[in-house]
Structure 1
Amino acid sequence: MVNLKIDLVSDIACPWCAVGYARLERALASLPELKIELEWHAFELNPDKNAPQEPILPALSRKYGKSEAEMRQSQAYIMEVAAELGLNFSKMQQRFTCNTFDAHRLVKWAETQGQATAMKMALFNAYFGEAADVSRHQVLLDCVAKLGLDVTTAAQILASDAYSEQVQQDIARYQHAGISSVPAFIINNKYLISGAQEPQQLAAALRQIAAQVS
């Protein structure tokens, strides 16, 4: 048995981050010889909390310099990929841009409850499956309730600045490390796998890393 620590840098607003994690799960299912410790880390695609929210297609069109039709086609492809992995992206094209800082704070809290991954997946489902505004505290608390975690405690956290420093440290640390796109998988604080690689590619990379560290 080889132990690997995976630090997964991602944003709730990033569809490829959800896909990347789902593909990681499939890769790990083929690698029973590995024991994985996974830790989620924050990244913000929309760091301005005061930026006006706007429909996702024109926002992406402007960001990438492509037409809305091209972005709609690109998003439709991601929806197909997600569906094959069992992810709910049914309202992906109906969502609005939003800041995810408070959502990241909740993930940090959920980690203390052993529920970081479950919280992350609930947030992905809310944003891409329901087109919910994951910057709104009520939406975040709905995710907490669905996981059976303490809603009162979560509300107190959101009303305070709890876990803000940890999220800010994540963002600064990985920006300083040169991470400019997500998902980013950092293995044993040494090896970097960028992007939502196919399960077979991920498995091959992890197998190669495991051989080097064993």
Structure 2
Amino acid sequence: MATKSLQIDIVSDVMCPWCIVGYRRLEQALSQFDNLDVTLQWHPFELNPAMGPDGQHLGEHIAEKYGSTPEQSAQNRQRLTQMGADLGFTFNFSDSSRIYNTLLAHQLLYWAADSGKQTELKLALFTSYFTEQKNPDDIEVLVEAATRVGLDAIEARMVLTDKRFEKTVQQEEQLWISRGIQAVPAIVFNQQYLVSGAQDPATIAELITQLTTDAA
């Protein structure tokens, strides 16, 4: 059977719990296909571009941004924790959880793409933030994540301190916003078909089947 190609672009933020849920569901959908050559790239989106260097208490942030009560916020965290567990990912929300700016993290991810380690780094950053409750706006945390996936620590630190990719990342963010992306995850298949949010594996698999059949 001939190998079929599929390009997947994921617009995402490290702060977004639904982004790791969506990715794990995408993995489940892709596992149903043989002879599929997948090219996957992550693209930047900042949920909180104006967030200060110290971040903000998660509960306060959710209340301010979405008007959620403490009870609603707790229920949502419990729901996400169960979803994560079902997908093999650990969310460790706590009363002290904070939300942060992710511009530095996106710069590191942009750099990691050339080495073929972008997805590994993205997953390491999800783990660092959601599971280990570390600050992804901290250079030491980011360098640690980079070395965890086999990237060079010295070069990673230089990328983060000289901010060589900052403007490029910001321009890419604006590009996706100009294309109508207002929330994440946003998953684009073959530069043409958009799936918004963390859809279930069956829905994604149905689209992949359609795309690979049309391309046959």
TM-score (norm. length: structure 2) = 0.94
Greater shift in the superposed pair: 109-118 or 52-61: 52-61
Greater shift, 170-179 or 89-98, is seen at: 89-98
Q: Which amino acid aligns with 1:209?
A: L
Structure 1 contact 95–127 (Cα < 8 Å) conserved: no
> What corresponds to 1:81 in structure 2?
83
CA distance in structure 1 between the aligned counterparts of 2:31 and 2:189, rounded to whole angstroms:
17
SS of corresponding position for 2:52: coil
Residues 81-129 of structure 1, C-alpha deviation per residue, up to 9 Å, x if partnerless? 0111111212366421110011011111111111000100010001100
Letter in 2 for 1:67: T
Report what 1:118 is aligned to: 120
User: Are 1:152 and 2:165 matched, yes or no?
Assistant: no
Please tell me the root mean square deviation across aligned C-alpha atoms, in Å: 1.5
Q: How does 1:82-97 map to 2 (within 5 A)?
A: 82-91=84-93, 94-97=96-99
User: What residue in structure 1 maps to residue 195 of structure 2?
Assistant: 193
Deviations 1:120-177 (A, max 9, x none): 0010001100111110101111111212221111111111122223311220111000
Q: 2:139 matched to which residue of 1?
A: 137
Residue 209 of structure 1: aligned partner: 211
Give the residue type in structure 2 aligned to 1:56.
Answer: L
CA spacing shift, 1:166–1:92, aligned 2, 3 Å: farther
Rounded to whole Å, the distance in 2 between the matches of 1:109 and 1:181 is 23
- CA displacement 1:168-193 (0-9 Å, x = unmatched): 12201110000001111111111111
What is the CA–CA distance in structure 2 between the aligned matches of 1:185 and 1:139, rounded to whole Å? 27
Residue by residue, what CA displacement relative to the aligned partner does 1:58-96 show, whole Å, maximum 9, x if unpaired?
211221112011011111101110111111212366421
Deviates more, 1:83-92 or 1:168-177: 83-92
User: 1:18 corresponds to which letter in structure 2?
Assistant: I
More off after superposition, 111-120 vs 159-168: 159-168
- Would you say how many aligned residue pairs link Structure 1 and Structure 2? 214
Matching residue's letter, 1:15 = P
User: How far has the Cα of 1:52 moved from its partner?
Assistant: 5.2
1:9-158 alignment, distance < 5 Å: 9-50=11-52, 53-91=55-93, 94-158=96-160
Q: Distance in 2 between matches of 1:57 and 1:71?
A: 7
1:8 equivalent among 2, 7, 10: 10
Shift of 1:57: 1.5
Moved more, 174-183 or 61-70: 61-70
AA in 1 matched with 2:151:
L
1:33-60 Cα offsets, whole Å, 9 max, x none, are 4221101100000101536522112211
Paired letter, 2:80: I
Secondary structure, aligned partner of 1:193? strand
Query: In the alignment, residue 46 of structure 2 is paired with which amino acid?
Result: E
